[in-house]
Amino acid sequence: MTAAAPERTQVAIVGAGPAGLLLSELLAAEGVESVILEQRSRAYCLARVRAGVLEHDVAALVDALGVGARMRRDGLVHEGIDVQFDGAPHRIDFMALTARTVVVYGQQELTRDLVEHLEAAGRDLRFEAEDVAVHDHGSDAPRVTFRHGGRRRELRCDVVAGCDGFHGVCRDTIPASRRQTYSIAYPFAWLGLLARAAPAIDELVYCSHERGFALYSLRSNEVSRLYLQVAPDEDVERWPDERVWAELDRRFARAADAAWRPTRGETLEKSVTPMRSFVSEPMRDGRLFLAGDAAHIVPATGAKGLNLAVHDVELLARALARWLRDGDDALAARYSDDCLARVWRAEDFSMFMTRLLHVPDDPFERRAQLARLRYLCASEAAMRSLAENYVGLPADRLRVSAPSLG
In a domain, 76, yes or no: no
Clarify whether residues 258 and 290 are in a common domain: no
Clarify whether residues 149 and 40 are in a common domain: yes
Clarify whether residues 47 and 129 are in a common domain: yes
Closest CA to 313 of 28, 3, 7: 28
What was the pLDDT predicted at 406? Answer: 36
* pTM higher than the cut 0.85: yes
In a domain, 266, yes or no: yes
Rg (CA), the chain: 22
> Which residues in 187-218 are b (16+ Cβ under 10 Å) and which e?
ebbbbbbbbebebebebbbbbbbeebbbbbbb
In a domain, 302, yes or no: yes
For the chain, give the secondary structure using H, E and C.
CCECCCEECCEEEECCCHHHHHHHHHHHHCCCCEEEECCCCHHHHHHCCCCCEECHHHHHHHHHCCCCHHHHHHCEEECEEEEEECCEEEEEEHHHHHCCCEEECCHHHHHHHHHHHHHHCCCEEECCCEEEEEECCCCCCCEEEEEECCEEEEEECCEEEECCCCCCCHHHHCCHHHCEEEEEEEEEEEEEEEEECCCCCCCCEEEEECCEEEEEEECCCCCEEEEEEECCCCCHHHCCHHHHHHHHHHHHCECCECCCCCCCCEEEEEEEEEEEEEEEECCEECCEEECHHHCEECCHHHCCHHHHHHHHHHHHHHHHHHHHHHCCCHHHHHHHHHHHHHHHHHHHHHHHHHHHHCCCCCHHHHHHHHHHHHHHHHCHHHHHHHHHHHHCCCHHHCCCCCCCCC
Clarify whether residues 134 and 269 are in a common domain: no
Clarify whether residues 121 and 45 are in a common domain: yes
What was the pLDDT predicted at 47? Answer: 83
Torsion of CA 8, 165, 26, 346, to 10 degrees: -150
Clarify whether residues 313 and 338 are in a common domain: yes
From first to last of its 406 residues, the chain has per-residue pLDDT tens of 678 889 999 999 999 999 999 999 999 999 999 999 999 999 999 887 677 899 999 999 999 999 999 999 999 999 999 999 999 999 999 999 999 999 999 899 999 999 999 999 999 999 999 999 999 999 999 999 999 999 999 999 999 999 999 999 999 999 999 999 999 999 999 999 999 999 899 999 999 999 999 999 988 888 899 999 999 999 999 999 999 999 999 999 998 888 889 999 999 999 999 999 999 999 999 999 999 999 999 999 999 999 999 999 999 999 999 999 999 999 999 999 999 999 999 999 999 999 999 999 999 999 999 999 999 999 999 999 999 999 999 877 776 444 443 3
For the chain, how many structural domains are there in total? Answer: 2
In a domain, 156, yes or no: yes
Clarify whether residues 231 and 335 are in a common domain: no
What was the pLDDT predicted at 209? Answer: 97
In a domain, 62, yes or no: no
Could you tell me whether strands 11-14 and 102-104 are parallel, antiparallel, or unpaired per DSSP bridges?
unpaired
Closest CA to 349 of 293, 393, 399: 393
In a domain, 200, yes or no: yes
**Angle at which helices 363-378 and 380-391 pack, to 10 degrees?**
90
Clarify whether residues 202 and 351 are in a common domain: no
Clarify whether residues 166 and 293 are in a common domain: yes
Clarify whether residues 26 and 126 are in a common domain: yes
Clarify whether residues 23 and 132 are in a common domain: yes
What was the pLDDT predicted at 399? Answer: 65
Clarify whether residues 347 and 306 are in a common domain: yes
CA-CA distance, 118 to 36, in Å (whole number)?
A: 10
Q: Where is the domain boundary, 275, 298, 327?
A: 275
**CATH number for 235:** 3.30.9.10
In a domain, 379, yes or no: no
CA-CA distance, 202 to 76, in Å (whole number)?
A: 9
Range of the domain at 245: 183-275
Q: Where is the domain boundary, 250, 275, 300?
A: 275
CA-CA distance, 135 to 15, in Å (whole number)?
A: 16
In a domain, 391, yes or no: no
Q: Where is the domain boundary, 222, 256, 275?
A: 275
What was the pLDDT predicted at 1? Answer: 64
What was the pLDDT predicted at 340? Answer: 97
Q: Please, which residues have CB within 8 angstroms of residue 153's CB and are 6 or more apart in sequence?
A: 3, 4, 7, 145, 146, 147
CA-CA distance, 149 to 126, in Å (whole number)?
A: 10
**CATH number for 120:** 3.50.50.60
